[in-house]
């Protein structure tokens, strides 16, 4: 995650950026987990 880059200085913008980055991280992890599961089922891992 890249929390150093926030879009605003007000605390609401920092909090919004934080939760948006958490959401993106979770979506990426979910996609990776799904892809790894498909590879396991096909015998690649």
Q: Residues 1-45: pLDDT tens digits?
A: 555 667 778 889 889 988 999 999 999 999 999 999 999 999 876
Separation between Cα atoms, residue 6 and residue 18, nearest integer Å: 8
Report the Cα–Cα distance between both ends of the chain, in Å, rounded: 27
Separation between Cα atoms, residue 21 and residue 27, nearest integer Å: 10
At 29 the pLDDT is 97
Full-model pTM: 0.72
At 37 the pLDDT is 94
């Amino acid at each position: 995650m890249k929390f150093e880059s926030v879009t605003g200085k007000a605390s609401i913008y920092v909090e919004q950026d934080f939760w948006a980055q958490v959401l993106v991280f979770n979506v990426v992890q979910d996609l990776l987990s799904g892809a790894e599961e498909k590879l396991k089922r096909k015998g690649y891992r």
